[in-house]
Amino acid sequence: MKTLSNKIEGLTPLQRAFLVIEELQSKIDALDKSPKEPIAIIGIGCRYPGGVDTPEDLWHLLQQGVDAITEIPQDRWNIDEYYDPDPETSGKIYTRYGGFIEQLQEFDSSFFGISAKEANYLDPQQRLLLEVVWESLENAAVNPHQLAKTQTGVFLGIGGSDYSQIAGCDIEKINAYFASGNGNSTASGRVSYILGTTGPNLAVDTACSSSLVSFHLACSSLRNKESDLALAGGVSRIISPLIHINHSRARMLSADGRCKTFDAAADGFVRSEGCGIVVLKRLSDAVANGDNILAVVRGTAINQDGHTSGLTVPNGPSQQAVIRQALENGGVDPAQVSYVEAHGTGTSLGDPIEVGALAAVFGETHSQEQPLIIGSLKTNIGHTEAAAGIAGLIKVVLQMQHKQIAPHLHFNLPNPYINWSEFPVHVPTQVTPWQVGDKSRVAGVSSFGFSGTNAHAVLEEAPPEVKTEEISELPVQLLTLSAKTDSALTELVARYITH
């Protein structure tokens, strides 16, 4: 390929000037297009309450309208010791509920080359993260062993480590693995270390918006050519009662353990565990490689509330601004959006503010006859906090794949502080066909942190399948399976049979 210096040899000064201008204009055009370059979602891994181990499990839970909330299990803490229905009681928790993932202790450390001694000080968030990252790559048909020394970025939303409070109780037993086993930076860094990737690596904590902020950063990294492949998502596990106690003092939790989003009975959220990871590529690269494209990212944006009425108080104008910016970044008209997965924690203050912001952005392009459909996964599995945004995004991808909108739970009496007669929004309480005529399905995903940092993403359903070559249909197909141990292979076979 000729360089600019090669091209200008033998040209007149005027011709050289024109050629330089053309080269510069080409670079400017490329930079102008980069913020709007579509990103492909090519793989998903997830674990959520309700026995959800795969995206297929999550869709079944959503379609069936399952409420996955349970009483706090004994392997976390003795809820009877901490429970008191009076919110004013110090040091107590006024709810008995949460959303929990099973198998807190189970972890095959040898699979990841981690010694048993080190694994003992490894935060269960890090353990779960490693498993789900691996599963997301398998879901994307990406061989984890071939990622060494590649520009693969890792962007992880993660909050505090409950495990460090427990593992650090006996200071005499703290060893050299304590810090790396419980640090947020090492949670993301360990992923790159085990895979051998050399792209950007960031651990992000913006509270509830952490994972969607991480998703935005991953998309930006791909568009800026810092990464050629990216892993984005978040993780959250609940082991200590400390944050439950804090949130009880702040009156943030729902007493009955249900997120009653948009309902008149909304009285707070229920804390839950979860982990979600998506595998991302530039759309052009994914198409060229023949990847299975699950959905397309049109635009993302993040912003901050700044100095408002309170640090942790939701801010409507900032929510409007981040949604408008994501639409602009993706070149999407508000009229194209037919569904928004709301932050929707189920608070009497936050829900009206969020719906008001949505109405301000989409009110002129939607009507009561053609409303914007809104929902929240938190009514199914609770609030997974640092992992919440990516959970909502995965829900949207699944809805696009199945062309259906899942039912929104615990919506009986509409919140009277939301102007339902004027706001063109609709909350579905049963499985609803996602009908868009001959148009493409486009949706938004919101996530707002009580840190004041907000995020929004705009997704579009996957384009029609691109056939790179004709493949003759065979009467019988061979499915080959492999695993590191006999027991793992047996479990894998069982999963395929069930699926």
Active site residues: 208, 343, 383
Long-range pairs, 244-248, Cβ under 8 A, ≥24: 244/82, 244/93, 244/95, 244/98, 244/271, 245/82, 245/91, 245/92, 245/93, 247/271, 248/87, 248/92, 248/93, 248/94, 248/95
* 241 DSSP 8-state letter: S
Sign of CA dihedral 107, 110, 114, 118: positive
Give the integer Cα–Cα distance in Å for 314 and 352: 10
Which letter, b or e, does each residue of 33-56 get, where b requires 16 or more Cβ atoms within 10 Å of its Cβ? eebebbbbbbbbbbbbbbebbbbe
**494: number of Cβ within 10 Å:** 10
Closest CA to 311 of 160, 159, 207: 207
**φ, ψ for residue 264, nearest 5 deg:** -65, -25
DSSP E strand stretches across 365-495: 372-375, 404-405, 425-426, 432-433, 442-448, 453-461
Ramachandran bin of 36, using left for φ above 0, alpha for ψ from -120 to 50, beta for the remaining angles: alpha
Q: Give the span between the Cα atoms of 216 and 153, in whole angstroms.
A: 12
The token duo for 226 is 């810092």
Which amino acid, one-letter code, is at 394?
Answer: I
With CA atoms as reference, report the closest residue to 457 among 391, 370, 402, 384.
Answer: 391
Q: Look up residue 171 and give its amino acid.
A: I
C-alpha distance from residue 54 to each of 49, 50, 405 (Å): 11, 11, 19
How many other CB atoms are found less than 10 A from the CB of residue 214?
32
Alpha-carbon gap, residue 471 to 387, rounded angstroms: 40
Q: Are 458 and 326 in contact (CB under 8 A)?
A: yes
d(CA 132, CA 235): 10
**Token pair 């950007």: residue:** 200
Residue in the block written with tokens 């503010």: 353
- Could you identify the residue written with the tokens 């007149």? 12
**155 token code pair:** 């962007």
Tokens at 150, concatenated = 């590649």
